[in-house]
């Protein structure tokens, strides 16, 4: 059953296809613009820490909050655009629902922006209980509530979209297990090499994000109840676990959603198909659980945490990089090796993303080691860890896909501006992450608006690096804005 | 279109109903509703006959012109009544001058009149070193009276699994005109004190 | 023939049994049976009445209830109302609240029966998930709140109810997961 469904692509009407393309472009442009703004925010924060810019402390925390929530949101919406674009070729997805999610997302963004810049909410995007309720006058209860409501609204939008994806996958493959390729993995049916990797990745993202957002829906409402009824004091550790489960799964899933661009595009540029295999299924099956269970590596200093969870957090963090990376990284290398690939910005970015993803594991694993975490916990090492992943892993996938969609594949030569953009971004992104890591290794704390004199040099180098990232992204985005809106579907 | 109309109608009436039945989003529980209600509509307290710790018949009218703080107890209570009564003791200590000036009176009413004889009530008061001039304990004189009193204050008493009772707990304030004007929760002792001080002071103001 | 009539009268009979004062008192004496037995029973009774409604009635209602939206709105309003602790206390203390409960909850069941099948599958998914989240939220709330929500019920009752809600919510989630992960086609294209 699954093989017949897989080998045949879904047919849509021309108007549906046109509408879908516009929707995907809207997601990408929206996401990239938010990314750019957030990079500027990050640049401003680094400059403030480097004493080159005066920012009032409360404004700093508002910027930090918007930077966190903005990047997570942009990553969510842009990566969803990537996944949806490819997934709709295999299962019948609804344009309407895709747009509905986009509009709900924008509504949530407005609420969140209002809560931060009008209401003054600056309790970080993780809204860690009970911080939103004890602002000591920095923001009102209403602002904290609107922030959490905004997240709830966005979560609901994504849930609607995932329900549609789930419905479509169930309609096409009968069960999520079949879509993940489990019957093939366990030998119930013969291995089908043409089973689309995008469907496997899409199903994995669907499962983890659905559960993550469900947990978010519970914990956000409990936070709201506490805001208005302080008598209700939920267990803070349970709240933290749920919040991190929700947030960590959501941001992790963006990279697994975007990797479909690698699966789909590298074969097109090399002329070699991406074949699924038992190893591939096993890796993705393992990652379903690992993505959901690794978050405790952010809770290692919470001593009341059950020991087994921390041990699990460490072991799984060690393991979580391996399955998909080995499969995807190795697969990507094999596809590219001696294929006579033409290096365009698209392929360079996709290849960079493989490097970023692979190398990003190293800081993650180091941070997840209990003994190291004792020293590195809540230092700049942590931002180093996720900036590495996002700047060098996730964003190259998304921007690479944008370039592909903008029609770069049809041009013979790489433009000079694109080259400047690529190298500025590459160097800037790498440097940004490394400065964070180096600061972390020197015990510079994270989330501090004002830095001690000894740390200022780090922040200043970080500011320069951030400027490079902004420059590269600006060039990418200008290019996307100019050629993306009119570009025809390259596939 | 008809669906749209019907849905809009249902949603709007539904929201209105939810709005009014929570007093505009202010009272979700019966306890909150009861407190809000007396604040907004003070009601004159009927003059029930109560029997005090010395087996004398009294009514609330005995302290006309006073503020009266009422709590509901049963003397074998192991939990919340103890907190209520020690709250009254705190009031007795902190507001001693007001109590002496005959501006304020404390009244404990038992809702377990069968067990709580005047003797028991007296013991209860002595546990809290009550000054009998300003703190009275009492019990209703008949079952129907007990019902009427609990009904009036909207105090709900239910038997618990240990042979005692679980009940709405709070400090009920009766003003000098004999109206029930406010209810404070057990945890709101400080607010109650604040309220009484302010009320007694404004009362005094014109006379000074 | 006889059997058919019997089936149609079954929900009404059940309604009367529930409305008998001793039965009422028995089920309402604990928060758990009140919320997990009596109220669901009343809704199920409504659902069954909805099933046996004559076709011409259904045809008359249909244009007012396209895609089942009106009925779901009604269902949500009624459910939200009876989720207020005040309403539940009212039903125990005052007879008119009780009457209201015995009417509105079966009405909700009828509305649910008429509307649920018409509802868009995505909307159904969102509502089911919201329902699950409500179970978990309320369960957690009942377990952690230091005070009683209902003046008519004991704190220990509230705690047990909280545990049961969490348990029910977990069972619901697990059964759903199993069905979607390994189930055969449960949703048509």
Q: Say if residue A326's pLDDT is above 50.
A: yes
Q: Is residue A330 within 8 Å of A284, Cβ to Cβ? A: no
Residue A272, judged by CB atoms within 10 A of its CB (0-12, 13-18, 19+), counts as middle
pLDDT class of A204 with cuts at 50, 70, 90: very high
Option in B27, B30, B161 nearest C150 (CB): B30
Residue-wise pLDDT tens digits, C78-118: 999 998 888 888 888 888 888 999 999 999 999 999 889 88
Q: What is the pLDDT of residue A103?
A: 96
Task: Render C76-87 in DSSP notation, one character per residue.
Answer: HHHHHHHHSHHH
Confidence of residue A491 (pLDDT cuts 50, 70, 90): low
Contact C70 B3 (CB under 8 A): yes
pLDDT digits (tens, 9 = 90+) for A337-374: 877 777 888 888 998 998 888 888 888 888 888 888 88
pLDDT of A24-52, one tens digit each?
999 999 999 999 999 999 999 999 999 99
Angle subtended by helix axes A345-368 and A260-270, to nearest 10: 140
Angle among Cα A78, A80, A84 to the nearest 5 degrees reads 125
Please give the pLDDT value at position A410: 60
Cβ pair C140:A222 closer than 8 A: yes
Question: Would you say A135 and A119 are in contact if contact means Cβ atoms under 8 Å apart?
Answer: no
Least trusted range by pLDDT, from A53-62, A411-420, C52-61: A411-420
A409 touches chain C (CB under 8 A): no
Q: Identify how many contiguous H helices and E strands chain A contains and give both numbers.
A: 18, 0
Nearest to A217 by CA among A292, A142, A157, A289: A157
Burial (Cβ within 10 Å: 0-12, 13-18, ≥19) of residue A204: buried
Q: For residue A444, what pLDDT is reported?
A: 93
* Average pLDDT over every residue of C32-61: 88
Q: How far apart are CA A399 and CA A390, in angstroms?
A: 12
CB contact under 8 A, A222 and C137: yes
pLDDT digits (tens, 9 = 90+) for B45-57: 888 888 888 888 8
Q: Which residues of C touch B157 (CB under 8 A)?
A: none
Q: Say yes or no: B2 contacts chain C, CB-CB below 8 A.
A: yes
* Residue B204, pLDDT score: 58
Q: What is the pLDDT of residue B45?
A: 87
Which of A54-63, A390-399, C142-151 comes out lowest in average pLDDT?
A: C142-151
Measured over the CA atoms of residue B31, residue B32, residue B35 and residue B40, the dihedral's sign is negative
Which listed CATH number (1.10.3720.10, 3.40.50.410, 3.40.30.10, 3.40.50.150) goes with B42-207? 3.40.30.10
- The span from the CA of A30 to the CA of A79, in Å, is 11
Per-residue confidence (pLDDT) for residue A471, from 0 to 100: 94
In a domain, C187, yes or no: no
DSSP reduced 3-state for B80: helix
Is some CB atom of chain B closer than 8 A to the CB atom of C63?
yes
Model confidence pLDDT, tens digit, residues C136-154 = 999 999 988 888 888 888 8
pLDDT at residue C4, rounded to an integer: 59
Cβ-nearest to A171 among C126, C132, C187: C187
Residue C3 lies in a domain: no
Determine, yes or no, domain membership for C17: no
Contact C121 A167 (CB under 8 A): yes
Nearest to A154 by CA among A119, A113, A123: A113
Mean pLDDT of A440-444: 91
Q: Confirm if B80 and B158 have CB atoms less than 8 A apart.
A: no
Q: Which residues of C touch A175 (CB under 8 A)?
A: 180-184
Span A184-199, average pLDDT: 89
Average the pLDDT over each of A51-60, A320-329, A396-405, C150-159 and give the range with the smallest value: A320-329
Buried b (16+ CB within 10 A) or exposed e, A178-203: bbbbbbbbeeeeebbeebbbbbbbbb
Return d(Cα B127, Cα B111) in angstroms, integer. 19
Residues of C in contact with A177 (CB under 8 A): 181-182
Q: Which residues 6+ apart lie within 8 Å of A262 measured at CB? A: A328, A332, A350, A353, A354, A397
Positive or negative: CA dihedral A57, A59, A60, A64: positive
Question: Given an 8 Å threshold on Cβ–Cβ distance, is A92 in contact with C189?
Answer: yes
CB contact under 8 A, A163 and C125: yes
Q: Is A384 exposed, middle or buried (0-12, 13-18, 19+ CB in 10 A)?
A: buried
Quote the pLDDT of residue A472. 94
pLDDT, mean of residues A298-311: 85
Distance of residue C188 Cα from the nearest chain A Cα, in angstroms? 6
Q: Which pLDDT tens digit goes with each residue over A111-153?
A: 999 999 999 999 899 999 889 988 888 899 999 999 999 999 9
What's the first-to-final CA gap in chain A, in angstroms? 26
**pLDDT surpassing 90 at residue A461:** yes
Domain assignment present for residue C64? The answer is: yes
Residue A2 has pLDDT above 70, yes or no: no
Whether residue C52 lies inside any domain: the answer is: yes
Answer for the pair B38, B168: CB distance below 8 angstroms, yes or no.
no
Residue C149: predicted pLDDT? 85
Q: What average pLDDT does the segment A1-19 reach?
A: 70
What is the domain partition of chain A in residue ranges?
19-483
Decide if pLDDT at A255 tops 70: yes
pTM across the whole model:
0.85
Q: Are C81 and C75 in contact (CB under 8 A)?
A: no
- Report the domain count for chain C: 1
Q: Tell me what pLDDT residue A270 has.
A: 85
Residue A261, classified by CB atoms within 10 Å of its CB into exposed (0-12), middle (13-18) or buried (19+), is: buried
Q: Is A224 on the interface with C (CB under 8 A)?
A: no
Q: Which residues of B are annotated as a binding site for Cu cation?
A: 77, 81, 167
- What is the DSSP secondary structure assignment for residue A9, as one 8-state letter? P
pLDDT at C2: 54
Chain C segment 91-110 residues within 8 A of B by beta carbon are: 93
What is the spatial distance between Cα A3 and Cα A172, in angstroms, rounded to a whole number?
A: 10
Touching A: which chains, 3+ CB pairs < 8 A? C
Domain, as residue range, for C166: 26-182
State the pLDDT at residue A69: 95
Average pLDDT over residues A207-211: 92
Q: Is residue C173 part of a domain?
A: yes
Average pLDDT estimate for C122-136: 90
Q: CATH assignment of A19-483, given 1.20.210.10, 3.50.50.60, 3.40.630.10, 1.10.3470.10?
A: 1.20.210.10
Does the bond joining C37 to the residue before it have cis omega, within 30 degrees of 0?
no
Average pLDDT score over residue span B115-141: 87
């Amino acid at each position: 059953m699954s093989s017949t469904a897989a080998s045949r692509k879904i047919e849509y009407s021309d108007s549906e296809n046109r509408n879908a393309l516009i929707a995907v472009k809207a997601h990408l442009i929206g996401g990239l613009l938010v990314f750019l703004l957030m990079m500027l925010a990050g640049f401003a924060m680094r400059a403030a820490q480097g004493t080159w810019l005066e920012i009032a402390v409360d404004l700093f925390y508002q910027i930090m909050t918007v930077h966190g929530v903005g990047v997570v949101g942009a990553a969510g919406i842009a990566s969803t655009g990537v996944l949806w674009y490819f997934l709709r070729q295999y299962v019948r997805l609804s344009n309407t629902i895709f747009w509905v999610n986009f509009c709900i997302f924008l509504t949530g963004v407005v609420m969140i922006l209002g809560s931060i810049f009008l209401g003054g909410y600056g309790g970080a995007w993780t809204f860690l209980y009970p911080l939103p309720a004890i602002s000591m006058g920095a923001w009102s209860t209403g602002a904290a509530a609107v922030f959490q409501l905004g997240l709830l609204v966005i979560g609901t939008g994504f849930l609607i979209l995932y329900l549609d994806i789930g419905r479509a996958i169930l309609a096409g493959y009968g069960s999520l297990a079949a879509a993940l390729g489990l019957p093939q993995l366990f030998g119930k049916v013969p291995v089908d090499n043409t089973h689309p990797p995008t469907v496997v990745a899409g199903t994995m993202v669907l499962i983890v994000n659905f559960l993550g957002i469900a947990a978010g829906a519970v914990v956000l409402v409990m936070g709201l109840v506490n805001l208005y009824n302080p008598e209700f004091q939920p267990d803070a550790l349970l709240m933290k676990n749920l919040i991190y489960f929700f947030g960590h799964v959501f941001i992790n899933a963006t990279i697994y959603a975007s990797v479909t661009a690698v699966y789909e595009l590298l074969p097109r540029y090399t002329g070699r198909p991406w074949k699924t295999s038992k190893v591939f299924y096993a890796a993705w099956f393992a990652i379903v659980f690992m993505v959901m269970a690794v978050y405790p590596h952010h809770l290692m200093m919470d001593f009341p945490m059950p020991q087994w969870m921390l041990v699990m957090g460490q072991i799984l963090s060690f393991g979580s990089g391996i399955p998909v990376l080995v499969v995807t990284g190795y697969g990507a290398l094999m596809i590219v090796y001696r294929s006579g690939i033409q290096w365009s910005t698209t392929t360079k970015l996709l290849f960079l993303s493989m490097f970023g993803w692979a190398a990003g594991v190293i800081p993650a694993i180091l941070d997840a080691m209990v003994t190291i975490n004792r020293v590195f916990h809540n230092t700049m090492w942590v931002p180093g860890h996720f900036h590495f992943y996002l700047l060098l892993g996730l964003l190259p996938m998304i921007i690479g896909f944008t370039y592909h969609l903008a029609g770069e594949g049809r041009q013979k030569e790489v433009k000079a501006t694109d080259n400047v953009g690529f190298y500025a971004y590459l160097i800037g992104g790498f440097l940004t992450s490394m400065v964070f890591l180096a600061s972390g290794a020197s015990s510079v704390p994270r989330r501090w608006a004002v830095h001690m004199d000894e740390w200022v040099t780090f922040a200043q180098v970080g500011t320069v690096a951030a400027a490079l990232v902004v420059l590269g992204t600006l060039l990418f985005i200008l290019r996307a804005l100019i050629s993306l809106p009119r570009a025809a579907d390259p596939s | 279109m008809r669906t749209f109309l019907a849905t809009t109608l249902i949603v709007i009436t539904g929201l209105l109903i939810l709005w009014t039945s929570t007093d505009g989003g202010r009272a979700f529980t019966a306890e909150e509703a009861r407190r809000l209600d007396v604040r907004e509509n003070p009601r004159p307290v009927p003059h029930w006959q109560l029997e005090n710790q010395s087996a004398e018949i009294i009514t609330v009218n005995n302290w006309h012109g006073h503020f009266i703080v009422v709590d509901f107890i049963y003397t074998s209570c192991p939990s919340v009544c103890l907190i209520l009564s020690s709250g009254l003791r705190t009031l007795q200590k902190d507001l001693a001058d007001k109590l002496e000036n005959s501006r304020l009176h404390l009244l404990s009413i038992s809702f377990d009149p069968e067990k709580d004889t005047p003797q028991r009530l007296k013991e209860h008061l002595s546990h809290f070193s009550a000054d009998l001039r300003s703190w009275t304990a009492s019990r209703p004189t008949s079952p129907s009276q007990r019902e009427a009193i609990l009904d009036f204050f909207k105090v709900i008493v239910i038997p618990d699994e240990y042979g005692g009772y679980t009940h709405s707990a709070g400090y009920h304030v009766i003003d000098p005109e004999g109206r029930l004007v406010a209810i404070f929760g057990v945890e709101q002792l400080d607010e109650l004190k604040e309220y009484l001080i302010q009320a007694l002071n404004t009362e005094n103001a014109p006379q000074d | 023939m006889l059997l058919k009539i019997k089936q149609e009268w079954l929900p009404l009979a059940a309604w009367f049994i529930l409305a008998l004062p001793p039965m009422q008192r028995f089920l309402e004496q604990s928060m758990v049976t009140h919320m997990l037995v009596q109220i669901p029973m009343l809704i199920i009774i409504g659902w069954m009445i909805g099933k046996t409604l004559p076709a011409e009635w259904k045809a008359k209602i249909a244009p007012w209830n396209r895609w089942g939206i009106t009925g779901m709105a009604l269902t949500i309003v009624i459910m939200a109302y009876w989720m207020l602790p005040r309403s539940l206390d009212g039903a125990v203390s005052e007879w008119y609240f009780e009457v209201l409960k015995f009417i509105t909850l079966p009405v909700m069941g009828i509305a649910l029966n008429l509307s649920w099948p018409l509802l868009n599958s995505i909307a159904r998914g969102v509502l089911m998930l919201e329902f699950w989240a409500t179970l978990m939220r309320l369960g957690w709330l009942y377990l952690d709140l230091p005070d009683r929500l209902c003046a008519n019920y004991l704190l220990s009752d509230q705690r047990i109810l909280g545990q049961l809600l969490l348990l029910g919510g977990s069972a619901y989630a697990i059964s759903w997961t199993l069905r979607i992960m390994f189930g055969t086609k449960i949703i048509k294209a």
